[in-house]
Structure 1
Amino acid sequence: MASNFLKSVPFFLLLAIVMAGDPDILTDFIPPANSSSNGLDGNFFTFTGMRSAVSSGNPSTFTITKANLANFPALNGQSVSYALLQFPAGAINPPHTHPRSAELLFVVEGCLNVGFVDTNNTLYTQTLQAGDMFVFPKGLVHYQSNDDPKQPAAAVSAFGSANAGTVSVPLSVFATGIDDVILAKAFKTDVATIQKLKAGLTPTA
C-alpha cells in the first residue's frame, strides 16, 4: 500500500504544479456565455472602469479600482488583472494576501512604505518613490502605507491571475465570527480587548 502511494506522489506533485496558476485555455480568448467570437468587437476587450478614478482627482479615503474577471470578462483565461490604488495623505492598505497571484506594484505618484512577511516570519520593507516597483510574492501577507501627512500617493498593481483574490487579515480574523474566546487565547489577551478590536472593524450604519 505504501509503495502504491509513493508511486503516485510524482503524479500529484505534477498536478499541483500544473494547477498552481490560472488554467491554460485552448482558444485565443473565452467569449461570454451564450455568445460566439463572431459577434464580438473591440468593446469586449476594452475596460473603461479606470476613467472615473483617473479623472476625479484624489479620493478622501484609500480607494482600490480593480480590473479583474469580475468586472472585465475578457480577462477570463488570460491570467492577468490590474488594480489602481489611491492613497490620501496618511492612508494605508491594511495587511492582506492574494492567494492566487503575486503582485507587482508600480508607484506612479508620491511615496509608499511597503512590506511583506515570508513563511519564516521575516519582514521585508522598502520605501518606494514614484517610478519604483516592488513585488509581493504570491500568498504572503503584505501592506502599503502612505506615511506622508500632506501628500497623496498612487500605484498600479499587476497580478498574474484574472482573479487574484484578496484576504484582509484584520477582517478575516476579527469580522468573520470567530469566537471571542478563541481569539483571546490566540492573541494572549482578554475577551474585552478582542471585542474592542471587533467593534472598530464594524461598519457604522
Structure 2
Amino acid sequence: MKSVHFLSAFVLLALASSIASAYDPTPLQDFCVAINDTETGIFVNGNLCKDPTLATVDDFTYRGLNIPADTNNQLGSYVNRLSVDTFPGINTLGINLGRIDYAPGGVNPPHTHPRASEILHVQNGTLYVGFADSNNTLFSTILYPGDLFVFPLGMVHFQVNIGKTDAVAFASFGSQDPGFVNVANAVFGTNRLIKPEPLARAFMLDVNVVKDLQEKFLSSD
C-alpha cells in the first residue's frame, strides 16, 4: 500500500513539474489564428480564435521586416516585435520574432523577458551583447554578421551597436508573448514612484540624484 501511495505522489510531483516548466500551453489544435470577432471567435489562451475552416494563407504570412525602422530617438534603436495583433497566425504556437535596428552607438538597454529565452542573429553591423546570471556573472562578447547569441529566460541582457554604421539583428523567442521589462524604467520610471530613499541606498546614490533620474524617466514617457 505504501508503494502505491509513493507511486501516486511521484506521478503527481512529475506532473506538477511538467506543468510548472511549460511557459506557453501546448496547443491542442493545428492552429489558432487570433481574431477580434466576438461573434464567431473561440476563446483560447488569451485570444479569440478564427474558425479554422476560414483561415487563409495570409493569416500565416507577415511582410515588412525588411524595412528599416526609425532609430532617431533617445536610445538610438527600435525594436519591432511581432504580436498576435500584427501576425495572428503565431497565436498559441509558442514562438515570436522581432527586428532590432540600431544607429551607431544605439543601445537596446538592459531588460528581461520573463516568459521566454531569446536567440539573437546579427544580420548587419557589430554588436556588443551580454547578460548577467543570478551570480552576477557577466557573459558578454562582440557579434558580427552571421553570429548568434542566446539570452536565457529572465536574465538581464543588452545590446549595443559599437560599429560606425547602422546595425540590424533579428531576435527569436520561445513564447508568443515573451514580455519585456526595461530595468531602468522598472526602477526609476514606475507610474507610482518608488520612494527615493531605498533606491538611493540600494544603488549607493544621493537621494537628489535618484529624484533627478525619476524626473527624467517620467518626462521621457
TM-score tier after normalising by the smaller chain length: 0.7 to 0.9
Structure 1: gaps (5+ residues): none
Q: What TM-score comes out, normalization by structure 2 length?
A: 0.80
Give the direction of change, closer, same or farther, for the CA distance of 1:191–1:77 in structure 2 (3 Å limit).
Answer: same
Cα deviation, 1:168-193, whole Å, max 9, x if unaligned, reads 00000110121112211222222101
Cα deviation, 1:104-159, whole Å, max 9, x if unaligned, reads 000000100001000111001100000000000111000000122x3111100000
Amino acid at match of 1:182: P
Q: Secondary structure at the match of 2:66?
A: helix
Structure 2: gaps (5+ residues): 36-40, 42-49
Give the direction of change, closer, same or farther, for the CA distance of 1:186–1:144 in structure 2 (3 Å limit).
Answer: same
Runs of 4+ in 1 over 3 A off after TM superposition: 7-14, 55-59
Q: How does 1:32-47 map to 2 (within 5 A)?
A: 32=34, 34=41, 35-47=50-62
Give the direction of change, closer, same or farther, for the CA distance of 1:9–1:144 in structure 2 (3 Å limit).
Answer: farther
Within 2, Cα distance between the matches of 1:13 and 1:174? 41
Give the direction of change, closer, same or farther, for the CA distance of 1:166–1:129 in structure 2 (3 Å limit).
Answer: same
Percent identity of paired positions between Structure 1 and Structure 2: 33
2:179 paired residue among 165, 171, 174: 165
Corresponding residue number in structure 2 for 1:55: 67
Within 1, Cα distance between the matches of 2:195 and 2:215? 14
The structure with higher relative contact order (CA 8 Å, sep 6+) is 1
Q: How does 1:166-205 map to 2 (within 5 A)?
A: 166-176=180-190, 177-204=193-220
Aligned residues: CA RMSD:
2.2
Deviation for aligned residue 1:59 = 3.5
Corresponding residue number in structure 2 for 1:28: 30
Question: Do 2:106 and 2:160's aligned partners in 1 also have CA atoms closer than 8 Å?
Answer: yes
Within 1, Cα distance between the matches of 2:133 and 2:9? 30
Q: What TM-score comes out, normalization by structure 1 length?
A: 0.86
Question: Do 2:68 and 2:101's aligned partners in 1 also have CA atoms closer than 8 Å?
Answer: no
Give the direction of change, closer, same or farther, for the CA distance of 1:72–1:17 in structure 2 (3 Å limit).
Answer: same
Question: Do 1:93 and 1:143's aligned partners in 2 also have CA atoms closer than 8 Å?
Answer: yes
Amino acid at match of 2:168: A
Q: How does 1:1-12 map to 2 (within 5 A)?
A: 11=12
Deviation for aligned residue 1:201 = 1.9
Deviation for aligned residue 1:199 = 2.5
Deviation for aligned residue 1:79 = 0.7
Within 2, Cα distance between the matches of 1:9 and 1:119? 29
Amino acid at match of 2:218: T
Give the direction of change, closer, same or farther, for the CA distance of 1:111–1:175 in structure 2 (3 Å limit).
Answer: same
Give the direction of change, closer, same or farther, for the CA distance of 1:121–1:17 in structure 2 (3 Å limit).
Answer: farther
